[in-house]
Amino acid sequence: MATLSLRDVRKSFGATQVLHGIELDVADGELVVIVGASGCGKSTLLRIVAGLETATSGQVVINGRDVTELEPADRDIAMVFQNYALYPHMSVFGNMAYGLKIRGMGKAEIEKRVKAAAEILGIGPLLDRKPKQLSGGQRQRVAMGRAIVREPALFLFDEPLSNLDAKLRVQMRAEIRRLQRRLGVTSLFVTHDQVEAMTLGDRLVVMNAGRAAQVAPPMEIFERPADTYVAGFIGSPAMNFIPATLDQGNASARLSDGTLIRFADGPRPGEAGMPLTLGLRPEHVETGDGPDSLPLAVELIEPLGSETVVHGRAASGMAVTARLQGAFSGESLPVRLTPTHLHVFDAETGRRLEP
Amino acid sequence: MQKKVIFKGRLLPLALLAPQLAVTFVFFFWPAGQAIYQSLLREDAFGFSREFVGLENFQEVLSDPSWVNAALNSLVFSGCVAGLALGLALFLAVQADKSLRGATVYRSLLIWPYAVAPAVAAVLWLFLFQPNVGLLGRGLNAIGIAWDYRLNGNQAMILVIIAAAWKQLAYNFIFFLAGLQSIPASVLEAAAIDGARPARRFWTIIFPLLSPTTFFLLVVNLTYAFFETFGIIHALTSGGPAKATETLIYKVYVDGVQNLNLGSSSAQSVILMILVIGLTAIQFRAVEKKVHY
Amino acid sequence: MSSTTLPATARVPAVRDDALLRATRRRLLISRIIAHGALILGVLIVAFPIWMTLVGSTHDAATIGRGDVPLLPGLHATENYATAWNEGGGRTRTTPASIMLWNSLLMAVLIAVGKIAISILSAYAVVFFSFPGRMAAFWAIFITLMLPVEVRIIPTFQVIVDLNLGNTWAGLVIPLIASATATLLFRQFFLTIPDEFVEAAKIDGAGPLRFLKDVVLPLSLTNIAALFVILFIYGWNQYLWPLLIINDRSMETIVVGLSKMIGSGDSQNEWNTIMATAVLALLPPVLVVALMQRWFVRGLTETEK
């Protein structure tokens, strides 16, 4: 098995720089998910690891070998493509056996490996079919099978689930996770879907405009997002952002309507009066009347069954989204911006301010 | 085959179809019928009397050594033209499909001979290979090869093959390039990751996926070499020397226009029609069977 | 750039396999060299005959007749082209190139426009109407696809003689404008026009001819342009048919006229004026292709597949 290291990987297409120095170390057997909006450079990064693109500068190290300039064939990797990229003129067996044949493996061994992989993926009866005779889910499995039989050092997944319908996507997601655990292959998985990222990854790389905004395990990203981009990207509905300034000897934030919120976990570094962005997830917005409660004029109610998302606006014009247990109806909703779950960011740089 | 929402009327659509149908009937069905009819008749030398001779004309044509010679010439000629023009065009298209600096310039420079008329192509190559005047013709003689395509049948054949293949190169190149560009990039990337080097990728992935294009082009090239190269042969060698470059279509022209042997040339035309229909049928079968990847 | 927690993996120093790296770089380099080399060679093969023709058209007849064609252009371009343009090329001085060019242009445009016009009308009838004999008409047109004009040349020639159309523009052009290819292309394109357009036209009270003029033709413009390029070249390059039909020198087309100048390829011919005529003969279609390259490639790959 193998490790992967990216050292200061940069990539420019002409004058446009799409990757600004990516650093990443993936441990043996780890599944790292690269997540970000479209155009953030996540696919380019994966293609650089695969050897389908060449980094403008920086290093790609697989299992201690510098493979930066090597061809894909010399990298010992396998990749699952978004559109599966099956060989249309070959049978399922042919698709899975192709890479093994090229490596000069014997017929019997090829047969054994393909059969075993087909068994694992439940596509044993399909081995003689052509790709166009398969459903989307089956093609997906064949693409996985083609990667598995090779027993590569590194698995690369380029949004492999995005062409499946919602139900199948959830099912395949779980299956990929189980498979990856079982085989213990180091994996890099690219997606734009934050739920996929959170459920699959040992660690996530949240990409923003060609930079890794944060590299951390899913829960840490959720609980301590490194900046406002990550905070807004991960979590649904998205985190509420409230402009404020640093006040009371850095121990409180003052909202635009004058309300003071005292940080529960201690003062933040910075100059007095420094502009802040406060973040509060909708599920952490508490409701109920009280001295410090803020009446919201309800603008939109989204019932989700077990819970309800309420979009409202405070008298100051500030928009707040709250996620409530159970059903809700009404014209107004009193909420409290509880300091215990408050995230504090520097409004200028967007970076998280720790106590 | 047809739209759900349509206009009503009978006269208008017939009026719209009339020009096309008129031309088709007058210049297609009538002459084709004439050809079949005449191929069954024999006319005396002065055109005074005709008699019905059944398939005798066909028998005569097929057993005529000069027709067999023309058929063999056609086979050699079209086989060489198709092979040369297809092979070279495919090789060039594969190179031009790589992400190279200046690839679009190469592409533009390679496609325009399509516009050159076969007869003009013949003149260009004649000027190069004319034994006393042509640069290459003189060059060959200078290095000791007795080059004169006007005397040597094989050399004449080589020259018409070169001119015909040169002219067809651009057409094949355009189609091969379009075919290559329609192969999904990700499939080739998957093959690269599976460890296939370029040569192997070509033979195991690109070439099989290109086979519908190749087959289509093969039929087009054969049709081209059989029929549309009349101008090249006429301008370059006039079928000579000693009928060494006389192809089937050229022989139809010679027998029909120069020797005025209508029965025989009609029979030859009918044979050619059957040949073309056969080729076209094969092509349609292939198009129908063509796998839509 | 940032990472809040660095992973547990210790940083392994990267090993570089220099031999493999060199081999990879060499492969890449060789592949590039082969590609450029092959393409340059291809371009040369394509361009060389035309270059030599250009060169030949700029020297005097004596230089070429001696067999001393240089590789670079000479100084006699003006007089050669003037002779070819005003008097004709070769020793036989058939017809001045100016007249032949005009004839070729007329023939090519008439064939292209004629083919497009009758194809649009018949495709429109077949697609947008339902009438008895629709399929029969479609197949009658479709079958013409199979027989190139060269195959039915003798009987068609007889028809022209019977109709007394020899040496006329009608006789030259009309037999060539029946085209199944263009009809099929337009039919295919018309089938992609949404039914809603027809419905909307009906609701607006537009009749079929108005719909053709206001909706179908404007939508077909790019197809028409693409097809025009292909058909113009097809028309310009016609050889056997004009050779048979036209005896009148004033109606000679340049492609046929050029080959007549050559005769039997005698070295004592006036090669300079012949080459000037050749350049004039290939210039118009080559220009059309060069200037309308995108349409041309599209038109070609779409009509024939």
- Do A36 and A136 reside in the same domain of the chain? yes
Q: Same domain, yes or no, for A8 and A151?
A: yes
Residues of A with Cβ-Cβ distance to C8 under 8 angstroms:
27
- pLDDT score at A10: 93
Residue C3 lies in a domain: no
CA–CA distances in Å: residue B185 to residues A150, A189, A308, B97, B191: 21, 20, 45, 11, 10
Residue C221 pLDDT greater than 60, yes or no: yes
**Which of A227, A246, A275 is the last residue in one of the domains?**
A227
Distance (Å, rounded) from C-alpha A192 to C-alpha A136?
Answer: 20
Q: What is the pLDDT of residue C305?
A: 42
pLDDT tens for residues C78-133? 887 877 777 777 777 678 888 888 999 999 999 999 999 998 998 888 888 888 88
Residue A11 and residue A66 in one domain: yes
The pLDDT, as a whole number, for residue C180 is 78
pLDDT at A155: 92
Please check whether residues A220 and A294 belong to one and the same domain.
no
**Domain edge (last residue) among A195, A227, A259:** A227
pLDDT of residue B278: 83
C92 in any annotated domain = no
Q: Which of A28, A212, A220 sits opposite C2 (nearest CB)?
A: A212
Does residue A152 lie in a domain region? yes
Residue C23 lies in a domain: no
pLDDT at res. B92 = 93
On whether both A311 and A195 belong to a single domain, the answer is: no
**Closest residue, chain C, to A224 (C-alpha):** C4
pLDDT for B285 equals: 73
Counting residues of chain C whose pLDDT is more than 70, the rounded percentage is: 90
End-to-end C-alpha distance for chain B, whole angstroms = 23
Asked whether residue A355 is assigned to any structural domain, the reply reads no
B122–C259 CB contact, under 8 Å: yes
Confidence band for C212, pLDDT divided at 50, 70 and 90: confident
pLDDT by residue for chain B (293 residues), tens only, comes to: 566 667 877 788 888 888 888 888 888 888 888 888 888 877 665 666 677 777 778 888 888 888 889 999 999 999 999 999 999 999 999 998 887 888 888 888 888 888 888 888 988 898 888 888 888 888 888 888 888 888 888 889 999 999 999 999 999 998 999 899 889 999 999 999 998 888 899 999 999 999 888 888 888 898 888 888 888 998 888 887 888 888 888 888 888 888 777 778 888 888 888 888 888 777 777 666 554 43
Alpha-carbon torsion, ordered B201, B202, B203, B207, to 10 deg: 130
Q: How many domains is chain C built from? A: 1
If one counts the domains in chain A, the total is 2
Q: Is the pLDDT of residue C140 over 90?
A: no
Give a yes or no: residue C22 inside a domain: no
Query: Is residue C124 one of the residues assigned to a domain?
Result: yes
- Compute the average pLDDT of residues C171-188: 83
Q: Is residue C51 part of a domain?
A: no
Distance CA A202, CA A218 (A): 7
> Same domain for A188 and A283?
no
Domains of chain B: 60-289 (1.10.3720.10)
Nearest beta carbon to residue B5 from set C159, C198, C265: C198
**Complex ipTM value:** 0.84
Q: Are residues A62 and A161 in the same domain?
A: yes
Q: Which residue does chain A place closest to B205, by CA atoms?
A: A87
* Chains in contact with chain C (at least 3 beta-carbon pairs closer than 8 A): A, B
Question: Domain residues for A145?
Answer: 4-227
Task: Kindly identify which residue of chain C lies nearest to residue B135, measuring between CA atoms.
Answer: C69
| Same domain assignment for residues A214 and A310 | no
Assess B146–C contact: CB distance below 8 Å, yes or no: no
Same domain, A261 and A329: yes
Shared domain check, A222 and A295: no
Q: Is residue A354 part of a domain?
A: no
CATH code assigned at A328? 2.40.50.140
Q: Are strands B50-52 and B41-43 parallel, antiparallel or unpaired?
A: antiparallel
CA gap B212, B89 in Å, rounded: 16
3-state secondary structure of C123: helix
> Over its length of 355 residues, how does chain A's per-residue pLDDT go in tens digits?
589 999 999 999 888 999 999 999 999 999 999 999 988 999 999 999 999 998 999 999 998 888 988 889 888 999 999 999 999 999 999 999 999 999 999 999 999 999 999 988 889 899 999 999 998 889 999 999 999 998 899 999 999 998 888 888 898 899 899 989 988 999 999 999 999 999 999 999 999 999 999 999 999 999 999 999 999 999 888 999 999 998 888 888 888 888 888 888 888 888 888 999 999 999 998 888 777 778 889 999 999 888 999 999 988 888 899 998 888 888 888 888 888 888 999 999 999 998 8
In chain C, which residues have their Cβ closer than 8 Å to the Cβ of B10? 131-132
* Residue A131 counted as domain residue: yes
Q: Per residue, what are the HEC states of chain A?
A: CCCEEEEEEEEEECCEEEEEEEEEEECCCCEEEEECCCCCCHHHHHHHHHCCCCCCEEEEEECCEECCCCCHHHCCEEEECCCCCCCCCCCHHHHHHHHHHHCCCCHHHHHHHHHHHHHHHCCHHHCCCCHHHCCHHHHHHHHHHHHHHCCCCEEEEECCCCCCCHHHHHHHHHHHHHHHHHHCCEEEEEECCHHHHHHHCCEEEEEECCEEEEEECHHHHHHCCCEHHHHHHCCCCCCEEEEEEEECCCCEEEECCCCEEECCCCCCCCCCCCEEEEEECHHHCEECCCCCCEEEEEEEEEECCCEEEEEEECCCCCEEEEEEECCCCCCEEEEECCHHHCEEEECCCCEECCC
Tell which of A187, A210, A227 closes a domain: A227
Domain of C149 in residue numbering reads as 97-304
Q: Note whether A146 contacts B190, CB cutoff 8 Å.
A: yes
Of B192, B208, B292, the CB nearest to A72: B192
Task: Look up residue B171 and give its DSSP letter.
Answer: H
Mutate to test the interface with C, among A68, A69, A221 (most CBs of C within 10 A): A69
Per-residue model confidence (pLDDT) at position A222: 93
Q: Give yes or no for B184 touching A (CB within 8 A).
A: yes
**C-alpha–C-alpha distance, residues A61 and A68, integer Å:** 7
Q: Are B233 and B254 in contact (CB under 8 A)?
A: no
Q: C245 to chain B nearest CA, in Å?
A: 11
Yes or no, beta carbons of B133 and C178 under 8 Å apart: no
Give the DSSP letter of residue C180.
Answer: H
Q: Does any CB of chain B come closer than 8 Å to the CB of residue C235?
A: no
Q: Which CATH number goes with the domain that contains A133?
A: 3.40.50.300
The answer to the question of residue C201 being in a domain is yes
Residue C65 lies in a domain: no
- Is A352 within a domain? no
> Are C30 and A49 in contact, with CB atoms under 8 Å apart?
no
B187 and chain A in contact, CB less than 8 A: yes
Same-domain check for residues A72 and A209: yes
Residue of chain C minimizing CA distance to B281 = C146
For an interface test with B, give the residue of C50, C55, C239, C254 to mutate (most B CBs within 10 A): C239
Tell me the CATH number at C225.
1.10.3720.10
